[in-house]
Amino acid sequence: MAVRSTAAPPTPWSKNLAEAQIHQTAFVHPFSHLIGDVRIGANVIVAPGTTIRADEGTPFYIGENTNIQDGVVIHGLAEGRVIGDDQNKYSVWVGKNACITHMALIHGPAYVGDNSFIGFRSTVFNARVGAGCIVMMHALIQDVEIPPGKYVPSGAIITNQQQADRLPDVQDQDKEFAHHVVGINQALRAGYLCAADSKCIAPIRDEIAKSYTGNGITVIELERSSDVSSNSLGAETIEQLRYLLEQGYKIGTEHVDQRRFRTGCWTSCQPLEPRSIGDAIAALESCIRDHSGEYVRLFGIDKGRRRVLETIIQRPDGDVKPATSFKAPGASHSNGSYKSNGNGNNFGSGKVNGETVEQIRQLLAGGYKVGMEHVDERRFRTGSWTSCKSIEATSINQVISALEECIESHQGEYVRLIGIDTKAKRRVLESIIQRPNGQVASSGSQKSFTTSATATATSTRLSTEVVDQVRQLLSSGYKISIEHVDERRFRTGSWTSTGQIQASSEREAIAAVEGHLGTYQGEYVRLIGID
């Protein structure tokens, strides 16, 4: 198959006319473009629509088993180099077993370490991403070095080293996800190479012609001795079962009705002891049939008795959903998303709304500890809050369960959510989520950082609670300030200060705060108390 590869053009800074060096086992789609000194390692796959252009910054290195997916752009500045793992200088170095996913931009000088994952439409520029990092979708990494094994959430903007150093660690299920994507793309590479080879593809075409009956479809699997199919399971669920068996995981299934789904009270189906993919499919189909009208989920169990690849495959409406690889802690989008609790894509119950769930997710993704406090109406005005039971959980589902327990135990009181920066030993978030009238508050309505109250600026009038907080801060001798942030930067904590409010009276301070609310309509606005 012809590869669209051309020499680097002569320029004032380079006249070497270097061409791409592509390992014979790699697959480079003819609808991709390689220009200049691009070194493609063994078993690499370069998908359609990709541009790897070493005409300014040069050379580029793409390590073995790495996949460069559709629409990726790799380019580099004429100035600036990174040191590759071979101790030579490169404009762009991408290590082995890496995933550069759809529409990502890697712009040199840039280094992406072994086993790293760069999510859809994310950008890495003038930066180093250490080995084993997971970068989710629409992230920006610029002018920093991400330490090895760190997790960058979707939408994050990491432009200073302090942000990079505070990123949370990648979890085991994240590593499994990246490994799974590498495996999928290796299968695609082999398939594309086979499709271009008449000796390889002819027997498969013959087999398809023989197996087609007009009444259904037989699933043909490359390099396997037996065909497998299912009337009720999707091809992706079958692929997940196969992957679990190949990796040596045990397979588990559970079911739950709609009422118990919200509390996470799942019940195991009959234990699976499959000797083949066919046995596993039969057992899973049996569980689905026996529990029609309920949720059914599939998962793997590793040697450490930890769950991996947990996926809901049936819902109460009878819809058998395809497995979507798996979901790891923190994201919420179906296209490549991960981070899920035991209930698949749904978190919490009526006691905790979606905004509060999103706050918890952001706190955990930022590496913060989560806490809760409660207070009755009389003590609320004096700020005499009492802590609920300490939370040592790291999963969103466990945190939500603990939060619901605190709400249930303190009906008729205020309850607030707290984010704690354990390194700096300070609070980064305080958010009232329940009020004495039993209302489960919108988490967007009041969030506090340090001694602060945050509100989405949809009104220029302050609530009674915020007025009380202004009054408490002034009476305690604190100065007050305002910060604001739009929705996109809210996730990364990139707040902008309006400066300290100079007010000689409570009325002037309230007027100044309301003035800022009017100025920043449609943004988050928070009140800061300064000691």
At residue 303, the 3 state secondary structure works out as: coil
The set of catalytic residues is: 56
- Would you state the structure tokens that stand for residue 459, as one six-digit string? 């009104």
Question: Given CA atoms 438, 440, 445, 451 in this order, what sign does their dihedral have?
Answer: positive
- Write down the pLDDT at residue 300: 81
Q: What is the DSSP string of 305-325?
A: S-EEEEEEEE-TTS-BPPP-S
- Write down the pLDDT at residue 122: 96
Give, in degrees to the nearest 5, the angle at Cα 175 between 164 and 182: 110
236-262 burial code (b ≥16 CB/10 A, e <16) = ebbbbbbbbbeeebbbbbbbbeeeebb
| Cα distance between residue 441 and residue 356, in whole Å | 9
**Residue 481's beta-bridge partner residues?**
500, 528
At residue 387, the 3 state secondary structure works out as: strand
- Write down the pLDDT at residue 208: 62
Report how far apart, in Å, the C-alpha atoms of 107 and of each of 136, 247, 383, 425 are.
17, 35, 50, 37
At residue 456, the 3 state secondary structure works out as: strand
Q: What is the DSSP string of 108-134?
A: EEEEE-TT-EE-TT-EEEEEEE-TT-E
- Write down the pLDDT at residue 247: 75
Spell out the SS3 assignment of 359-378: HHHHHHHCCCEEEEEEECHH
Judge contact between 418 and 429, C-beta under 8 A.
yes
What is the residue-level pLDDT of the chain in tens, covering all 531 positions? 456 678 888 888 888 888 999 999 999 998 999 999 999 999 999 999 999 999 999 999 999 999 999 999 999 999 999 999 999 999 999 999 999 999 999 999 999 999 999 999 999 999 999 999 999 999 999 999 999 999 999 999 999 999 999 999 998 888 888 888 888 888 888 888 888 877 777 777 766 665 544 444 333 333 343 345 555 677 777 877 887 787 778 888 888 887 777 666 788 887 777 777 888 888 888 888 888 888 888 888 877 777 777 778 888 876 554 444 333 333 333 333 333 333 333 444 456 776 787 778 777 777 788 888 888 877 776 667 888 888 877 677 788 888 888 888 888 888 888 888 777 677 777 778 888 876 554 433 333 343 344 444 344 567 777 887 787 778 777 788 888 878 777 766 677 888 888 887 888 888 888 888 888 888 888 888 887
- Write down the pLDDT at residue 529: 81
- Write down the pLDDT at residue 29: 92
- Give me the domains of the chain, ranges plus CATH numbers: 5-174 (2.160.10.10), 223-346 (3.30.190.10), 354-530 (3.30.190.10)
Residue at token pair 């045990």: 250
- Put simply, whether the predicted model's pTM sits higher than 0.85 gets the answer no
Sequence-distant (≥ 6) Cβ neighbours of residue 410 within 8 angstroms: 374, 388, 434
| Cα distance between residue 263 and residue 487, in whole Å | 31
- Secondary structure tally for the chain: helices H, strands E: 12, 35
Burial class of residue 142, CB neighbours in 10 A (0-12, 13-18, 19+): middle
- Write down the pLDDT at residue 210: 58
Rg of the Cα trace of the chain?
Answer: 27
Residue at token pair 């990494």: 141
Q: What is the DSSP string of 27-76?
A: EE-TTSEEEESEEE-TT-EE-TT-EEEESSS--EEE-TT-EE-TT-EEEE
Q: Are strands 92-94 and 82-83 parallel, antiparallel or unpaired?
A: unpaired
One-letter amino acid of 454: T
Q: What is the DSSP string of 331-363?
A: ---TTT----BTTBT----TTS-HHHHHHHHHH
Report how far apart, in Å, the C-alpha atoms of 29 and of each of 1, 188, 473 are.
8, 11, 63
One-letter amino acid of 476: S
Judge contact between 328 and 339, C-beta under 8 A.
yes
- Write down the pLDDT at residue 117: 96
